[in-house]
Structure 1
Amino acid sequence: MAKETKEIPEKRVVPTSAAQNPDDVINIKELFWTVAARWKLIVLAMLIGALLLGIYHALFVQPSYQADASIFITNNDSVITVSDLQISSELTEDYAKIIKSRTVLKQVIKEMDLDMDFKQLGKLVAVSNPEDSHIITITVTCGDMELCRNIANSLMNIGIDRIYQVIGSSEPTVIDYSEAEAVEEITPGLLNYMEKGALLGIALVCALICVRYLTDTTLKTEDDIRKYLRMPVLSIVPYFEEKKD
């Protein structure tokens, strides 16, 4: 009788290169202490960053002001129906676009004799409809407080006339003209710039330390030899610094 033979399953040998090397994983704890050990350099970079942006603010940052005017879009009739309010709500966005149209901007430039074109003026102007209400707010931002206020008022007056010409309904009602007392300075303060400079300095130095840590392949200690080369340390040659007489 023939003897039955059992098949012995083949053993698969995983190549060493395919196995995950634990030494290739970044040691977060070691990286943290590497960064923390250079705290003096980080503090110095923080101070330099704050100083540089502080100087930049003092020499190059120009003051900026913001003025606003607002109008109310609705029917001027003594009796306002729900339909009137609904229609005015739907047309509010159209009114905002009319106010910032080329025709209106060019008329403002001509009226105030501004030394700019309609594209440059358009960058200074923002027309918004807060919280989907019937109110349109015209905001002007520039470096001259009086000019900022005058542009906002001129834009509102010419915009109201243009809305009446295009829509053909009753004119919007003025809520607030732009006044000198209401103009706000929106220039970021010196402290704000210094804080940003300090954070930028810290981030830059920490990034450089991390990059240097990740790209450094030199062996510095006995533990590095055992960890990366997997070889025993047979002897150590001490280093003595020669004293100068």
Structure 2
Amino acid sequence: MTPFALDEAVLLAWLGQFAWSLFRIAAMFMVAPLFGARYIPVRIRVALALACALVLFPMLPPPPAVLPFSLQGLVLVAQQVLIGIAMGFILQLVFDAIVIGIQTVSMSMGLGFAIFVDNQHGAQMPVLSQLHLLIAMLLFLAFDGHLMLVQLLADSFRILPVGGGGLNADAFWLVASLGTTLFVGALKVALPAATAVLIVNLSIGVISRAAPTLNLFAIGLPLTMLVGFLVLIATLPTLQDSLLFLLEEALLSVDRLLLMVN
């Protein structure tokens, strides 16, 4: 019976396979929704990346015959980091679309002054956008979105194994063109409330022409806010459909991204 032998080459190959997969996973967790939030400590993110890498390590295809600390190994590390960031960025666009859509409605309602510091992005956003973002995150967890991210990582190593190539010009163009999907999703979220607020503003403009002495600031702002809130409450159940639509588009875009990498 032949004893199981470990030499330096085998250990370096295992180390390279684990390290390259870890870099892709950690880069995705750095910008992916929920995991990349600023209120998640860095130690937690690192621990999650290590846990996922350990789970996926036995299922990965054979690594390329490249030394981890060589120049080619550093190129592979850079490729995995870019791939992970691109995948996480595409998924993050889903929630950015919701934020932008509700932010447009908040500004038209006159709630631009009601600003709250978003702990996920470290920036300021309207309170209504923060509320819808929290609801979208809860829906994301209810849809097992955190498990979907792990499954997406496992599929990414199957579609594009380590050493299969890096992002090319077409891949970067695909990521940039996803801004169209961002605006489509924002329009689906904001269109009902924005249309209602626009109708109210047009009505107030007609009233101001018919009764110039009417105090429009005392009537127009409360009326606009009331109509906006009522329409947002009435259309809140449709947020689930919009989120599912954006998630499907994001997953299809990630698949196209991995397939066009060379």
- TM-score norm. by structure 2 comes to 0.22
- TM-score norm. by structure 1 comes to 0.23
Higher helix share: 2
Bigger Rg, structure 1 or 2: 1
Answer 1 or 2: higher relative contact order, Cα 8 Å, separation at least 6: 1
